[in-house]
Structure 1
Amino acid sequence: MRVECKCHGLSGSCTLRTCWKKMAPFREVGDRLLQRFNGASKVMGANDGKTLMPVGLSIKPPDRQDLIYSAESPDFCLADRKTGSLGTRGRACNSTAMDVSGCDLLCCERGHRDQTLEFQENCLCRFHWCCVVQCKKCSVRRELSLCH
């Protein structure tokens, strides 16, 4: 949250000032969270039972602004009943994207196969008075990439 203010008064004078708290733009919040996520520190409970101490060789102990975690995330690449993860085998991905929707990342570097699907779908639909919609069947081809 940040404080934003506006001045009120004749010809721009600030005889009355109104301030309120406003959320940062969503993209900015997401970018900040990603930065903190990437720099998160693993911690464990100290012997006193009250404090947390970093695990391993950390550059610095985490402060109040840092994200911390106590357990590693499960491997979502493989199916796991215990966590409810279905894995990424057979998942559709974008073979041309370099971001999180790309096949390299989604398929956990196991590779992917490209497949052409041909199916029928309704097209050129028309509404006829009263209460009837008539459609033609069109043959559609789609290129699909699926994770190995």
Structure 2
Amino acid sequence: MPTVEFSDAAYEKLAFAAKIAGVSLTEAVDRVFGTSNQAPASDNPQHEPSASEQRQDEIKVTATYLGRRVTGYLDLDSERLRITEAPHSDLVRTFKSPSQAAVETVRHLNPARKRPETNGWRFFCAEDGQLIERYRRR
């Protein structure tokens, strides 16, 4: 089996993710790269959706900032936004709100910008190209 070296910080993040998911480090790496041998959800009642699987009551969202695309899912009940694909790996996580996700996206993709504050409801679009602000609970 090949050996891979990680920075201490990357190892800690991976170990934490594996612990939360209840899997080994190897399985966590396989899941990140989509090479897991885990049975599909229908065969495994404890299956947790992978980062790129859409869950019930979620809509797929995208944003393009400075020519770089970020993709994720907005939970319509909690209004949390889960980024599943991004040009910066630190962005692939769940945020408390679309605005928190947008601010972090701007901060990571444009570190020279002094004020990354951004309205996430007007930053991300649904699959039909419309802004997600129409899904916001008032």
Q: TM-score, normalised by structure 1?
A: 0.23
- Larger % of helix: which? 2
The structure with the largest alpha-carbon Rg is 1
- Larger % of strand: which? 1
Q: TM-score, normalised by structure 2?
A: 0.24
